[in-house]
Amino acid sequence: METPILNPYRPGAGHAPPYLAGREQEIENFAKLLDQRIIIKNCIVTGLRGVGKTVLLDEFKTVAIREEWLWTGNEISESVALTEGRLCTRIMADLSMVTSGLSIKKIKEEAIGFTPNETGTDIFLNHKNIEFLFQDAPGLESDKLKYILEYAWQQIKQNMPQIKGLIFAYDEAQSLSDYEKNKTYALTMLLDVFQSIQRKGIPFMLLLCGLPTLQAKLIESRTYSERMFTVLLLHKLSDKDSRLAITKPIEQENCPIRFNEISINLIIKTSGGYPYFIQFICKETFDVFLQQHSISKELGVPIDSIMLKLDDEFFAGRWAIITDRQRELLWVIAHLENCEEEFTVQEIVSESKKYQITAFGGSQVNQMLSSLTANGLIFKNRFGKYSFAVPQLNEFILRQNTNRQ
Ligand SMILES: Nc1ncnc2c1ncn2[C@@H]1O[C@H](COP(=O)(O)OP(=O)(O)OP(=O)(O)O)[C@@H](O)[C@H]1O
Ligand SMILES: [Mg+2]
C-alpha cells in the first residue's frame, strides 16, 4: 500500500516547526546564560504574536536539560489575576514538579509533620510537603517562599550534585501584573524573591516569555529589573532563513512536491518573514499542490484565497472582540506611514482629522490604546510609544475596509 504524503508544515500556537529556522544567535545567547554560577542575568524572550517565542522556549528547554539544568514552569493564564498568594502556590507547584522525587528523610525534627510515602520510610519534597514547609516557615509570604526555594536548592544539591541550577520559565508572562487597585503585587514579589535568592548564590533563573509589553511592565514594577534581565527580542526571519523555513520541511521529508523559485519568493514576500504566516501559507500551498500534482504543468500559489483563509483563522477572532470605535481607531493607525514601527498618540489624533469620521482626542486615544493593549493588539514600549502587537495587522485592516473613506 502506498504511504500517504503528509503535510509537514505546522501552523499553530506552540507547535514545533518541522525546521526551526534562524534563532542560532538567540540560542547561543541563552546558552551563555547557563554558564553563570551566580545568577546575575535572567532572561526575557519577547516579540510579536506568532513570531516563534513559545517554540523557541521549547528549544531552550532542550539546551538547558542537556547542560544539566532543571526546568519547570508553565503558561501564565490571562484569566486569573495573580495575587501574591496565588503566585506562591504556583511557584511551589512548579518547584514540586522537579523536586518530588527527592528524598528528604534525613532532615531531623522538621520531618515530624511530613507525609511519608506509602512505605512509610522515605519523605519526598513533593507538593504536599512543600506546602507544609511553607506554612511552617516564619515571616511574610515572600519570606516563606524564599525559605522554600533555598531549602529546595540544598536538597537538589545533595541529591543531584551534577545539577547546575533550575530554570523557572513562564510563557505569556505579559499577563503578570501588580494590581494597585486590589493592592496585590505579585510581579514585584516575583522579582524581589528571585533577586534575593540569587544574591545568596542560589542558581534559580527566571525566564519570562511574552509580548513586548512585558519589558515595560517589569521596569515599571521594579526599575532594577532592567539590570536583572537579558532581553532576547525575536524579529521576523531574514529572507535567507524564511527560505529555509519554507524549503527544509519538504526536503527533510523527501516529499514529491517542491515549491519553485516563484512560489518561494511569493511566500517570503507575503509572509513578511513571520514564522506563523510562513507555516500557514506553506501548509495551504502544499495541500493545493498535492491535490493537483498529477497535472503536469507548473502550479502557482493561490495567494488570494490563502490570505482570505488567514484573515479568518488568525485575524478575525482578534477583530471580533473589539468595538466599532476601537476598529475605527485601528483603521486610522493603519493609515499612518510608520504604523509598522512605532507611533504616538499625537500622530493618531492628527491623522484622524484627515478622514470623514468623528476625530479622536488625545485622552480618548490614550484610554483606547490601553484597552487595545489589554486585548493584545497594541503594546506600549518603554519609551511610551505604541506599536501593533500582531504582525501585519495594518494590512489586514486595510483589506477589511477597502471601500471606506
Ligand atoms: N524559527 C522558526 N522557523 C520556522 N517556523 C517557526 C519558527 N518559529 C516559530 N515557527 C512556527 O510559527 C508558529 C508560531 O510559533 P509560536 O507559537 O512559538 O509563536 P509565539 O511567538 O509563541 O506566538 P504567540 O505570541 O501567539 O504566543 C508555529 O506554527 C511554529 O511552528
Ligand atoms: Mg506563544
Q: What pLDDT is stored for residue 107 in this prediction?
A: 47
Ligand (nearest to CA of 15): 1
Residues within 6 Å of ligand 1 by CB: 10-15, 17, 20-23, 47, 49-55, 245, 275-276, 279
Pairing of strands 165-171, 69-75: parallel
Expressed in angstroms and rounded, the spacing between residue 254 Cα and the centre of ligand 1 is 23
Residue pointed to by grid coordinates 534562524? 22
**Amino acid sitting at position 308:** L
* Mean pLDDT estimate for the chain: 89
Please give the pLDDT value at position 1: 60
Q: Sign of torsion, CA 310 315 317 320?
A: negative
Ligand 1 atom at minimum distance from 17 CA: 31
Rounded Cα distance, 298 and 383, in Å: 50
Q: Is the pLDDT of residue 220 over 80?
A: yes
Please give the pLDDT value at position 215. Answer: 87
pLDDT (tens digit, 9 = 90+) per residue, 70-85? Answer: 999 988 876 567 888 9
SS (H, E, C) 199-265: HCCCCEEEEEEECCHHHHHHHHHCCCHHHHEEEEECCCCCHHHHHHHHHHHHHHCCCCCCCCHHHHH
Looking at residue 113, what is its pLDDT? 55
CB neighbours of residue 74 within 10 Å:
14
Ligand 1 centroid – CA 12 distance (Å)? 7
SS3 40: coil
Closest ligand 1 atom, residue 237 Cα: 1
What ligand has the least distance to the C-alpha of 170?
2
Beta pairing, strands 178-179 & 184-185 = antiparallel
Output the residue whose Cα is nearest ligand 1's atom 8: 52
Helix axis angle, 53-66 relative to 24-33, nearest 10°? 50
Tell me what the mean pLDDT of segment 314-320 comes to: 93
Percent of the chain as helix, strand, coil, to the nearest 5: 50, 10, 40
pLDDT reading at 116 higher than 60: no
What is the DSSP track for 131-156? Answer: HHHHHHS-SSHHHHHHHHHHHHHHHH
What is the pLDDT, as a whole number, of residue 109? 44
Amino acid at 254: N
Question: What are 87's three cell numbers?
Answer: 503566585
126 or 61: whose pLDDT is higher? 61
* pLDDT band with cut points at 50, 70 and 90 for residue 103: confident
Lowest mean pLDDT among 220-234, 272-286, 333-347: 220-234
Going by C-beta distance under 8 Å and a sequence separation of 6 or more, which residues neighbour residue 91?
Answer: 145, 149, 168, 190
Q: With H, G, I as helix, E, B as strand and everything else as coil, classify residue 373.
A: helix
What's the rounded mean pLDDT across residues 288-311? 83
* Ligand nearest to the backbone CA of 249: 1
Q: How far out from the chain centre does Cα 245 lie?
A: 20
Taking residues 90-116, what's their average pLDDT? 73
Higher-confidence position of 60 and 114: 60
pLDDT digits (tens, 9 = 90+) for 51-72: 999 999 999 999 999 999 999 9
Q: Ligand 2 centroid vs 172 CA: distance in angstroms? A: 7
pLDDT at 164 over 90: yes
Q: Scanning the structure block, which residue is given the C-alpha cell 547542560?
A: 67
Strand pairing partners for 178? 185
* Ligand 1 atom at shortest distance from the alpha carbon of 15: 31
pLDDT at res. 296: 64
Mean pLDDT of 368-379: 92
Atom of ligand 1 at shortest range from CA of 56: 18
Residue 404: is its pLDDT beyond 50? no
Residue 297 confidence (pLDDT): 67
Task: Judge whether 93 and 150 are in contact, CB under 8 Å.
Answer: no
Question: Which of 19, 207, 279 gets mutated to test ligand 1 (max ligand atoms within 8 A of its CB)?
Answer: 279
Residue 114 scores a pLDDT above 60: no
pLDDT tens readout for residues 139-155: 999 999 999 999 999 99
State the pLDDT at residue 74. Answer: 87
Contact 191, 223 (CB under 8 A): no
How many whole angstroms from 24 Cα to the centroid of ligand 2? 19
Q: Which band of pLDDT confidence, cut at 50, 70 and 90, is reported for residue 342?
A: very high
Alpha carbon separation from 399 to 146, 174, 193, 315 (Å, rounded): 52, 29, 47, 11
Report the range of poorest mean pLDDT among 46-55, 176-185, 188-197: 176-185
pLDDT in tens, 225-268: 889 999 999 999 999 999 999 999 999 988 888 899 999 999 99
Closest ligand relative to 281 C-alpha: 1
SS3 174: helix
